C-alpha cells in the first residue's frame, strides 16, 4: 500500500516524540528505525498470556487508517504517551458536533495531518485539518443517499465508518452504495450501487481494502435480504466478484479448494440443501460486520448474520451459511473454509462480530488463531488455517446451549430454550442482540488479552409465523428483554484470555456496554458506556483509572492518534442510538441523542485551546462605531 | 421464505381481490360500505397551506366509521402485512414512527392515514395500493384510529384551529429539516424517523 499523504520522515520524528517518555528508548535520536521501537512496544510483558499479533500493514504509529487500525483487527495502538500514571490528567482538547441524531457507531480516521469523520445517514464525510488551530473543516462531502433507506434499516440509520487506502476515503451509504472520495480534496471518485433499498437492503458496515480490492457486505437480514460480500476495484469501483452467503456452491463461491472443518457442513450445495425449497433466497446471512485479513495466509475472514425469517419453525435445517464465518481469497472471493457458530439459529444470533487474528500456544503448539466473541455468548478461538474450533467457552450469561462439542464443532442446544410458535419461552439468555453485538473488542499484544464491551440481557420470546413481503420485515420474533443478573446491571466490560477461554477481570455497568474498545502500548484500555461515561482502564488488572462524562451515550469506537504537534490524542464520538436505544431507550437515565467528536489530551493541551494559537485578539481600542440609519 | 408463507400471502391477496369484486368495495358480507372515490382522495394536499384551514381531508370519513369489526380485522392485517414489525405492537413506533399519538408526519385524518398506507411515504414506508384492496386499507385506518399512547391530548389545538380544520397545526407537522426528522412529541419515538 502506498499513500500520497504518507510522509515517512515526519512520522519517525513524531514516533520518537511519542516514545520519548519511555526510559527504555534512549536510542530515539537521529535515524532510529521506527519498526524497531514498535517491536519493543508490542512485546508480551510479564503476566501476558503470550499471544501476539501481526500488526500489518504496519501503518505509521501515529495514524489510524481503518476502523480496526490493522488487518488483524486488534484496535491496538503503539502510542504510549498516555499511561496509567498520567491518564487522570486527560482533558477535552477540542470537540466537533455534526448535528445528526442517529446512532454514532464509527471511529474517526487520522492520516497525515487530517482527521476524517463519516456521519450516520445522510453519510456526510468531513476532513478536519489538524495542522491548523481548532482543526477547521478542510472539506465536506455530501452524497445525498436516498431517504427510503432510513425506514428500512432495522437498527437505526447508523454507519460504522470509513477506511483509507491509496489516497482515497472509502465508505458505504445507507441506501446500499459504496463511495470513494479523494482524501485530499473531498471530490468523489466513484460511487457504486450494490443493492435496492426498496427491497430492504441497506449498508452500514465499514469496508476493508486489501490490495486493490474494496470488500463490502450488506445489511437487511431482518427483511429477508440475501447476504453478500462484494469485491470492488479500488480505482474504478467496478465489481470484481460477488459471493453470497446462501444458495448453491457456485453462488457462495465454494469450489474445489474449499474444506469445511466438520463433516456436518460438508457436501454439495449445502447453502441450498439445508433450507426448505428455495427459501435460501430470502434467507438472510447478511454481511454487516467486520472483515479481517491475514497477509501470510492471504485470507480474509468475515461473518454472516442470522437466517431469515427469524422464526425457525419456517426453515427446518441448519440454514447454511448463516450465523457463520467464512475464510475467503480476497482477489477471487472464493471460500477456503467456513464454520457455522449457530446452526439453525432460533434466537437472532448473528455471526458477524469481529474476528481478531492472533498467534498463541494452545495444547503445547503455537497456532495461527482467530478469536471471535459471538452473539450466542460463546468466545471461540479457531485455527484460522482450517476453521477447527480449539476453544469455545461462555464469556457472557447463556442458557440456550450446554456447551460446544469440540469433536463435532456443534453447540449442544438446550431443549427448554428452543423458540416456539405462539408460545412464550421465558428467560432465554442471551437476548436477541446477544452477549455482545458488533461493538468490536481490542487485543493488546503486551497482555495477550482481548477486551470487550458485553451485555447481560435475557428475553422472553414468542414466535409468530410471518410472510415474506419484499421491503418489510421478515421477522416474527415478539420479545421482552430484562437484565440477566439480579443486580440489574445490563452491561459489563471484560478482559478475556483467548487461549484458555476465561474471563480475567470484569467491570459491571448499569447500561449495556455497546462501545468498541481501544488498547494502547501505554497499557491502557478505553471504552465508553451507553449512559455517556468514557473510561480508561489499566489493561493489566481492570482498575478504572479515569472516567469522563460526555454529552450523550457512547456506542461508537474510541481511537488514538499523534497530532502534528507530537501530542498523543484520544478520540471518541458520542451519540447514542442504534440497538442500544431500541433495547434500553426507555430505561430511566438513558441519555438523549447527539453526535459529537471529543478529542482528549494530557491537560487538554492542543492547538485549539492555547491562547497563543488564537488568530483574533482584542486590540484594547474601540473598533468601528455604529449609528442608526437616520 | 417457505412455500406455505408465499401461498398464504397469495391466498390473502386473492381473497381480498375476490371479496372486493364481489362486494363492490366492501369485503365481508356483514360490512357493505361505500368508499371515497380515488378522485376525492387525489385532491388531498400534503400539509395545509399557510393560514388556510386544513384540506378537504377532514371532510372524508372512514367508510367503516362506527364499525368495530373493521378495526378488529384491521388489527389482524396489521400483523399479517408486517406493519407491526416496523411500527411495533400497538403502533408504538420502532423503524417506523408511532401511530398511536396525535403527532403525525403526514396528517392524522382518516383520509390522510389512508394515503400514507396506500401511496407509501418517502422514508421507507412501503406503498400498499398495489398489494391490498382499498377496503382493507380503510380497515387498517380504522384500527390505527383506535390506537392510543396513553398521553392525554394537549390543550385542545382543535378548539383554536380554524373551522374546517380537523386537528389544527400539530396534525400537519412539516417534519423534515435537511433530510432529518425533528423529534416527535411521543416518548415512544426516540428521535428516529
- Can you list the domains of chain B with their CATH numbers? 11-24+35-152+172-181 (1.10.760.10)
Interface probe, candidates B7, B8, B97, B124, chain A, greatest A C-beta count within 10 A: B124
Q: Is B131 helix (H, G, I), strand (E, B) or coil?
A: coil
Q: Which residues in chain B touch residue A588, judged by CB atoms under 8 angstroms apart?
A: none
pLDDT tens for A313-339 read 999 999 999 999 999 999 999 999 999
Phi-psi category of residue B46: left, alpha or beta, with phi > 0 → left and psi -120 to 50 → alpha: beta
pLDDT score of B21 more than 80: no
Measured in angstroms, the CA of A425 and the nearest CA of chain B are apart by: 19
Looking at the predicted structure, is the pLDDT value of residue A27 above 80?
A: no
Inter-chain residue contact A309 with B1, CB threshold 8 Å: yes
More confident residue, A28 or A563: A563
For position B42, what pLDDT does the model report?
Answer: 83
A153 at interface of B, judged by CB pairs closer than 8 A: yes
Residue A233 cell numbers, joined: 476495484
Gap between the Cα atoms of B192 and A156, Å rounded? 7
Give the pLDDT confidence of A585-603 residue by residue, as tens digits.
Answer: 999 999 999 999 999 999 9
For chain A, where do the domains classified as CATH 2.140.10.10 start and end? 33-627
Residue A34 binned pLDDT confidence (cut-offs 50, 70, 90) = very low
* Bridge partners (DSSP) listed for residue A450: A443, A496
* Cα R_g (chain B), whole angstroms: 17
Question: Given a cut of 80, is residue B18 above it in pLDDT?
Answer: no
Q: What is the mean pLDDT of chain A?
A: 92
Cβ of A150 within 8 Å of Cβ of B94? The answer is no
Residue B1 touches chain A, beta carbons under 8 Å: yes
Task: Determine contact: B72 vs chain A, CB below 8 A.
Answer: no
A33-627 has which CATH code? 2.140.10.10
Indicate yes or no: CB of B5 within 8 angstroms of CB of A277: no
Does the predicted interface ipTM exceed a cut of 0.95? Answer: no
Alpha carbon separation from B15 to B8, B10, B20, B119, B143 (Å, rounded)? 10, 8, 8, 22, 20
Number of cross-chain residue pairs from A and B with Cβ atoms under 8 Å apart: 107
Please tell me the predicted confidence (pLDDT) of residue A542.
98
State the DSSP code for A284: B
Coil, strand or helix at B137: helix
Average pLDDT score over residue span A421-437: 98
Helix segments in B32-160, DSSP class H? 38-42, 68-80, 83-87, 110-119, 134-146, 157-160
Q: Please report the pLDDT score of residue B43 as a whole number.
A: 81
* E strand or H helix at A137: strand A137-141
Chain B residues touching residue A152 (CB < 8 angstroms): 95, 124
Q: How far apart, in whole angstroms, are the C-alpha atoms of residue A284 and residue A217?
A: 12
C-alpha distances out from residue A551 to A119, A356, A528, A598, Å: 17, 31, 12, 10
Distances (CA, A) of A122 to A203, A214, A307, B31, B178: 12, 21, 28, 46, 9
The pTM of the full predicted model, rounded to 2 decimals, is: 0.88
pLDDT tens string A258-287: 999 999 999 999 999 999 999 999 999 999
Please report which confidence band the pLDDT of residue B27 belongs to, taking 50, 70 and 90 as the band edges.
very low
Checking if the pLDDT of A487 tops 90, the result is no
List, for residues B71-119, the tens digit of each pLDDT value. Answer: 999 999 999 999 999 999 999 999 999 999 889 999 999 999 999 999 9
CB B192 within 8 A of CB A585: no
Residues paired with A529 in a beta bridge: none
Which of A124, A140, A467, A469 should one mutate to test binding to chain B, selecting the residue with the greatest count of B CBs within 10 A?
A467
- With cut-offs at 50, 70 and 90, classify the pLDDT of residue A42: confident
Q: In terms of Cα–Cα distance, which of B60, B52, B63 is closest to B165?
A: B52
Residues 496-515 of A with CB under 8 A from B: none
**pLDDT bracket for residue A607 (50, 70, 90):** confident
* Residue A442, pLDDT score: 99
- DSSP E strand boundaries for chain B: 176-177, 180-181
Amino acid at each position: 500500500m502506498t499513500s500520497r499523504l504518507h510522509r515517512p520522515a515526519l512520522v519517525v520524528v513524531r514516533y520518537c516524540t511519542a516514545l520519548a517518555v519511555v526510559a527504555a528508548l534512549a536510542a530515539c535520536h537521529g535515524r532510529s528505525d521506527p519498526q524497531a521501537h514498535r517491536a519493543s512496544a508490542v512485546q508480551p510483558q510479564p503476566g501476558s498470556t503470550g499471544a501476539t499479533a501481526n500488526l500489518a500493514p504496519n501503518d505509521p504509529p501515529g495514524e489510524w487508517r481503518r476502523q480496526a487500525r490493522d488487518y488483524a483487527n486488534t484496535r491496538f495502538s503503539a502510542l504510549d504517551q498516555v499511561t496509567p500514571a498520567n491518564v487522570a490528567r486527560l482533558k477535552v482538547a477540542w470537540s466537533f458536533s455534526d448535528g445528526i441524531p442517529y446512532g454514532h457507531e464509527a471511529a474517526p480516521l487520522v492520516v497525515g495531518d487530517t482527521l476524517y469523520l463519516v456521519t450516520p445517514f445522510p453519510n456526510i464525510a468531513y476532513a478536519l485539518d489538524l495542522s491548523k488551530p481548532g482543526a477547521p473543516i478542510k472539506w465536506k462531502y455530501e452524497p445525498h443517499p436516498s431517504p427510503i433507506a432510513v425506514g428500512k434499516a432495522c437498527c437505526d440509520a447508523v454507519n460504522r465508518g470509513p477506511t483509507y487506502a491509496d489516497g482515497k476515503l472509502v465508505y458505504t451509504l445507507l441506501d446500499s452504495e459504496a463511495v470513494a472520495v479523494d482524501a485530499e480534496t473531498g471530490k468523489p471518485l466513484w460511487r457504486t450501487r450494490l443493492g435496492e433499498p426498496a427491497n430492504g437492503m441497506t449498508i452500514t458496515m465499514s469496508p476493508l481494502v486489501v490490495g486493490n480490492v474494496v470488500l463490502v457486505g450488506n445489511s437487511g437480514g431482518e427483511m429477508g435480504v440475501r447476504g453478500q460480500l462484494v469485491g470492488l476495484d479500488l480505482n474504478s469501483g467496478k465489481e470484481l466478484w460477488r459471493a453470497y452467503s446462501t444458495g448453491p456452491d457456485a453462488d457462495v463461491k465454494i469450489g474445489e479448494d474449499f474444506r469445511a472443518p466438520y463433516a456436518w457442513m460438508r457436501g454439495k450445495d449445502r447453502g441450498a440443501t439445508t433450507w426448505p425449497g428455495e427459501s435460501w433466497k430470502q434467507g438472510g446471512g447478511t454481511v454487516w460486520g467486520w472483515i479481517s485479513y491475514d497477509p501470510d495466509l492471504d485470507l480474509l475472514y468475515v461473518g454472516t448474520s442470522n437466517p431469515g425469517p427469524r422464526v425457525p419453525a419456517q426453515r427446518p435445517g441448519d440454514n447454511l451459511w448463516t450465523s457463520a464465518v467464512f475464510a475467503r481469497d480476497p482477489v477471487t472471493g472464493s471460500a477456503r473454509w467456513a464454520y457455522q457458530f449457530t446452526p439453525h439459529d432460533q434466537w437472532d444470533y448473528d455471526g458477524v462480530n469481529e474476528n481478531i487474528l492472533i498467534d498463541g500456544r494452545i495444547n503445547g503448539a503455537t497456532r495461527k488463531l482467530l478469536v471471535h466473541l459471538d452473539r450466542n455468548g460463546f468466545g471461540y478461538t479457531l485455527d484460522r488455517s482450517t476453521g477447527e474450533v480449539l476453544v469455545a467457552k461462555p464469556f457472557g450469561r447463556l442458557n440456550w446451549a450446554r456447551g460446544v462439542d469440540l469433536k463435532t464443532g456443534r453447540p449442544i442446544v438446550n431443549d427448554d430454550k428452543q423458540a416456539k410458535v405462539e408460545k412464550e419461552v421465558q428467560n432465554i439468555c442471551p437476548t436477541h442482540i446477544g452477549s455482545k453485538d458488533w461493538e468490536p473488542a481490542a487485543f493488546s499484544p503486551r497482555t495477550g488479552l482481548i477486551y470487550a464491551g458485553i451485555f447481560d440481557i435475557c428475553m422472553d420470546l414468542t414466535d409468530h409465523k410471518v410472510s415474506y413481503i419484499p421491503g418489510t420485515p421478515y421477522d416474527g420474533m415478539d420479545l421482552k428483554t430484562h437484565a440477566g443478573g439480579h443486580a440489574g446491571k445490563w452491561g459489563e466490560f471484560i478482559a478475556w484470555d483467548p487461549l484458555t477461554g476465561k474471563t480475567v477481570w470484569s467491570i459491571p455497568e448499569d447500561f449495556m456496554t455497546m462501545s468498541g474498545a481501544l488498547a494502547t502500548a501505554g497499557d491502557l484500555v478505553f471504552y465508553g458506556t451507553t449512559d455517556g461515561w468514557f473510561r480508561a482502564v489499566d489493561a493489566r488488572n481492570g482498575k478504572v483509572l479515569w472516567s469522563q462524562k460526555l454529552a450523550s451515550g457512547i456506542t461508537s469506537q474510541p481511537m488514538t492518534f499523534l497530532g502534528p504537534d507530537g501530542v498523543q490524542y484520544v478520540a471518541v464520538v458520542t451519540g447514542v442510538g442504534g440497538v442500544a436505544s431500541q433495547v434500553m431507550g426507555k430505561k430511566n437515565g438513558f441519555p438523549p441523542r447527539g453526535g459529537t467528536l471529543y478529542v482528549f489530551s494530557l491537560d487538554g493541551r492542543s492547538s485549539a485551546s492555547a491562547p497563543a494559537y488564537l488568530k483574533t485578539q482584542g486590540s484594547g481600542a474601540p473598533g468601528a462605531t455604529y449609528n442608526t440609519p437616520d | 421464505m417457505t412455500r406455505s408463507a408465499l401461498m398464504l400471502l397469495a391466498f390473502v391477496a386473492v381473497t381480498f381481490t375476490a371479496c372486493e369484486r364481489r362486494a363492490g368495495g366492501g369485503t365481508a358480507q356483514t360490512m357493505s360500505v361505500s368508499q371515497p372515490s380515488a378522485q376525492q382522495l387525489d385532491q388531498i394536499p400534503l400539509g395545509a397551506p399557510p393560514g388556510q384551514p386544513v384540506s378537504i381531508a377532514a371532510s372524508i370519513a372512514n367508510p367503516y366509521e362506527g364499525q368495530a369489526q373493521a378495526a378488529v380485522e384491521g388489527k389482524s392485517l396489521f400483523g399479517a402485512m408486517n406493519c407491526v414489525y416496523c411500527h411495533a405492537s400497538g403502533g408504538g413506533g420502532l423503524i417506523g414512527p408511532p401511530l398511536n399519538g396525535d403527532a403525525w408526519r403526514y396528517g392524522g385524518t382518516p383520509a390522510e392515514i389512508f394515503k400514507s398506507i396506500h401511496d407509501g411515504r418517502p422514508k421507507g414506508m412501503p406503498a400498499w395500493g398495489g398489494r391490498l384492496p382499498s377496503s382493507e386499507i380503510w380497515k387498517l385506518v380504522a384500527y390505527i384510529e383506535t390506537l392510543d399512547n396513553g398521553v392525554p391530548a394537549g390543550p385542545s389545538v382543535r378548539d383554536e384551529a380554524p373551522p374546517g380544520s380537523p386537528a389544527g397545526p400539530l396534525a400537519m407537522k412539516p417534519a423534515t429539516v435537511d433530510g432529518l426528522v425533528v423529534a416527535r412529541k411521543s416518548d415512544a419515538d426516540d428521535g428516529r424517523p
